[in-house]
Amino acid sequence: MSAPAAAPLDAASRTRIRAGWGAMHALWVTALIIFALLWLLAEPIAGWAFEYPKAAQIPLQRWIGNAMRWLTEDASFGLFTFTDLTRFIAAIIDVPYRIALGALSTGLLSGQGSDAVQLLPPLSWVALIAIVGLMGLYAGGWRLAALVAACFGFIVLFGQWTNAMVTLASILIAVPLGVVGGLLIGIAGYRWRWLEKAIIPILDLMQTIPVFAYLVPILILFSFGPTAAVIATIIYALPPMTRVTMLALKGVASEVLDLGHMVGCTRRQMTWRVMVPSAMPGLMVGVNQVIMLSLNMVIIASMIGAGGLGFEVLAALRRLDIGTGIEAGLAIVALAIALDRLSQAFAARGLAPKHAEAELTSLLARYPYVAAALGIVIVSGIAGLAIGAVQTYPATLELSTGSASEELMYWINVTFFDQIEAFKNALLLNILIPFKRFLLGLPWLGMVGLLALAGWTLGGARLAALVGVLAFLIAATGQWEKAMVTVYLCGISVVVAGALGFLIGIVTADRERLWKVVRVIIDTLQTLPSFVYLMPAVMLFRVGDFTAMIAVVAYAIAPAIRYTVHGLREVDPHLIEAGTALGSTKRQILTKIRIKLALPEIMLGINQTIMLALSMLVITALVGTRDLGQEVYIALTKADVGRGLVAGLSVAFIAIISDRLISAGAARVRARLGLQR
C-alpha cells in the first residue's frame, strides 16, 4: 500500500480491489504465455490444435443438405406435402403482388404471357407523383410534398421509372406482410413468456446471419421469382418489427393495463383495443424499420428474381457500368427517402390527432385528399389515352450522368494510376497481408480459449460458455480458416473505420454547423444500398481485399462517427463545468473527462460498426474476397443449402461473439463510471 488510506475500511476495500485486479492480470499473463507457447512450439506435436481434424468435424453441412432434401422431396402432412405448402404460400403472396404490379407497372392484363391484352393502363407517372405529393401534403405539409414529389421526379427523370415501379410493387406487398407478421409474433411473444425466450435467440441469429445464407433455402422452397424475393424480404425485415412490438407492448403503462382489466376487457379486447393502440408510437418505429430494411433488401432480393431497380444495380455491377449502377442505386435511395419521410409523417400525424377533424361529417369534406387523388387518377388516365407523354415519360427527356461519371473515373484512373497503385500496394504488403498471415497462423484451440477467458473476465461463466461454444463450433464445422479471413478483413476495416470515425467525431462534436453537414452525409451513407459502395471502389482499386476494405470502411463508418459525437455531447455539463472550474485546458477536458465518460457510448458505436462491416463483407464477396462471405456466395450460385447456411451461421457466430463481448465490456465500463442507461 503506497497511498495512505483515509479510513481502515477504505484501505481494506482498496486492497481487495487491487487483489482482484492482480489476480486477473496474473490469469491473463499466464493465459497469454500458454497461448504463445502453443502457437510457437506446438505445431509439430499437436497439429490438431492448428487445423481442426477432418475426422472430428461436425457434418452439419451434410445434415442441413439432407434435411432440405427431405423437406422438398419426402416431407408430407398427410393430405399435402411440404412442397405443396410452400407453393401454396407462394401462390397466395403472388395474388396481391400481381395486383400491385398491375396498378404500378404492367396495367390490368387479360391473358397470359406475351398474348396478354392490356385492359387498363397502369398508373401514369403524372398520377403517381401527384398522389405521393398529395400524401406528403396531407401528412406533412408543402415541404414534405415537395420532397416526395422531387424524389419520384428524380426517378422518372433518370429513366428508372419502370424498374422503380417493379421494386415499389414488391415493397408494397412485403411491408404490410412484414409488419403484420412481426406484430403477431411480437404479440404472441408478449403474451407467452416462454415463447419470448425462444424467439429472442432466433431473432439474434436472424439479424446477424448474412441474407445470402437464407436466400438458398428460399430459392429451393419457393423457386426463382418475385414471390421468393418478397418472402426473403419479409424474413429479413420481420425481426426488428417483432422486437419492437415486444418492447412497445412491455412499455405500455401498468395503469393502462389496469384500466383495461377494470372496464372488463376480454383478452382479445385487451390486446386490440388497449395494448396495441397505446403502444402505437413504438410500433410505428417498427413499421419504419420494416420499410427501410425492405428497401435494403432490394438488391439482394434481385438475386433470386425480384427484378426492378435491384436487378439493374446488380447487372450494372457485373458489367462494371458505374453510371447506370449509381443511377439505379440513387433511385433506390430516392425511393427510400420518400417512403421513410412519408411513413414518419403519417406516424406523427396519426399519433397526434386533432379534434377539429373528428367533427366534420360530409364524406367529401372529411376525405378531401382521397377525393383529389381519385380525381387525378381518372383525369390523368383519360389524358394518358390521348397524350402518350402523360402515360409514359418520354425517353428523349430522360437524363443520364452515366457517361460523365464514367469519364471521371477514367480520368482518375489514367491520371493517378501510379499513386493509387503505390498506395494500395504499400498498404497491402505492409499491413493487410502480414496481419492475415498472422491470424491464419494462430491455433484455433488457443483462440477459443482466449475468447472464453475474455468472456469470463467481462461477463462471467455464462458469457464464457456462449463465446467458447460458438467459437468452437466455427472450428468444428470446418470454417476456421475462412472465418479468420473474415476476421482479418473485418478487423482491419473496423480499425480504420473506428479510428477515422473517432477523429471525425471529436472534431465535429463541438462544431454545431459542421456536425449538421456531417450528419446529413452519414445519414445519406446509411440509406445508400451497400452495393453502391462497391462500384467506385472496384473502379479505382480493381478487385481484391483492398477494395473490399475500402467499401466496408465507407459503409461502416457512420455509427462510429455518430456514437462518438453522441457520447461526447451527452457528458454531464456539470462535470465539464467542474473541470473548467478546476482550471483544466480544453484539451484536458477532452482527454481526461469527456472521452473517458463517452467511452461506453463509443464502444457501442464500434459494436455497430462491426455489425455493419460483417454484413458488408458478405457483399464484397462479389469483388473476390476469400472469406466466409465468398463461401456463402458460392453456395448461393450452386444452390447448396448446407454450405451456405453453415458459412452463414459462422458469420452470425462471429457477430454474436463480438457483440456480446463488447456489450459486456461497455456495461462494465459504464458501471465503473456509475453511469446509468
- CA 651, CA 601: separation in Å to the nearest integer? 25
Shortest reach from residue 16's CB to other proteins, in Å? 27
Cα dist from 506 to 571, 594, 596, whole Å: 13, 10, 13
Of 260 and 307, the one with the shorter C-beta distance to other proteins is 260
Of 82 and 367, the one with the shorter C-beta distance to other proteins is 367
**Cell triple for residue 367?**
376525405
Shortest reach from residue 280's CB to other proteins, in Å? 7
Q: Is 109 helix (H, G, I), strand (E, B) or coil?
A: strand
With binding defined as CB under 8 A, does residue 262 bind other proteins? yes
Shortest reach from residue 282's CB to other proteins, in Å? 12
- CA 249, CA 177: separation in Å to the nearest integer? 20
With binding defined as CB under 8 A, does residue 365 bind other proteins? no
Q: Which of 331, 212, 297 is nearest to 637 (CA)?
A: 212
With binding defined as CB under 8 A, does residue 358 bind other proteins? yes
Choice from 264, 394, 583, 674 touching other proteins (CB under 8 A): 264
Q: Which amino acid is at 193?
A: R
Shortest reach from residue 673's CB to other proteins, in Å? 29
* Cα 82-88-89 angle, rounded to 5 deg: 95
Question: Position of cell 479510513?
Answer: 7
Of 253-261, 337-345, 537-545, 660-668, the segment contacting other proteins by CB under 8 A is 253-261
**Cell triple for residue 8?**
481502515
Choice from 352, 363, 395, 581 touching other proteins (CB under 8 A): 352
Backbone φ and ψ of 300, nearest 5°? -65, -40
Of 117-125, 151-159, 170-178, 261-269, the segment contacting other proteins by CB under 8 A is 261-269
With binding defined as CB under 8 A, does residue 117 bind other proteins? no
With binding defined as CB under 8 A, does residue 256 bind other proteins? yes
Q: Sign of the C-alpha dihedral, residues 619, 620, 623, 627?
A: negative
Alpha helices in 392-443 (DSSP H): 402-427, 433-441
With binding defined as CB under 8 A, does residue 265 bind other proteins? yes
Q: Which helix (H) or strand (E) holds 110?
A: strand 108-110
Of 179 and 209, the one with the shorter C-beta distance to other proteins is 179
Contact call for residues 611 and 554 (beta carbons, < 8 A): no
With binding defined as CB under 8 A, does residue 263 bind other proteins? yes
Choice from 12, 91, 119, 351 touching other proteins (CB under 8 A): 351
With binding defined as CB under 8 A, does residue 353 bind other proteins? yes
With binding defined as CB under 8 A, does residue 278 bind other proteins? yes
Contact track, other proteins, 294-333, x by CB under 8 A: ----------------------------------------
With binding defined as CB under 8 A, does residue 258 bind other proteins? yes
DSSP for 317-361, written as a single string: HHHT-HHHHHHHHHHHHHHHHHHHHHHHHHHHHHHS--HHHHT--
Of 274-282, 427-435, 470-478, 640-648, the segment contacting other proteins by CB under 8 A is 274-282
Of 72-80, 272-280, 393-401, 629-637, the segment contacting other proteins by CB under 8 A is 272-280
Shortest reach from residue 256's CB to other proteins, in Å? 5
Burial class (CB in 10 A: 0-12, 13-18, 19+), 89: middle
Q: Is 403 helix (H, G, I), strand (E, B) or coil?
A: helix
Total residues in contact with other proteins, by rule CB under 8 A? 25
- CA 565, CA 335: separation in Å to the nearest integer? 29
Which residues, 6 or more positions from 203, have their beta carbon under 8 angstroms from its beta carbon? 239, 242, 243
Of 3-11, 27-35, 65-73, 264-272, the segment contacting other proteins by CB under 8 A is 264-272
Of 101-109, 349-357, 420-428, 497-505, the segment contacting other proteins by CB under 8 A is 349-357
Shortest reach from residue 139's CB to other proteins, in Å? 17
End-to-end distance of the chain based on CA atoms, in angstroms? 35
**Residues paired with 108 in a beta bridge:** 120
Of 84 and 258, the one with the shorter C-beta distance to other proteins is 258
With binding defined as CB under 8 A, does residue 24 bind other proteins? no
**Cell triple for residue 647?**
458459412
Of 162-170, 258-266, 365-373, 545-553, the segment contacting other proteins by CB under 8 A is 258-266
Of 275 and 467, the one with the shorter C-beta distance to other proteins is 275
Which residues, 6 or more positions from 214, have their beta carbon under 8 angstroms from its beta carbon? 232, 235, 645, 648
With binding defined as CB under 8 A, does residue 253 bind other proteins? yes
Contact call for residues 126 and 149 (beta carbons, < 8 A): no
Q: What residues line the site for other proteins (CB under 8 A)?
A: 253, 255-256, 258-259, 261-266, 269, 273-274, 277-278, 280, 351-356, 358-359
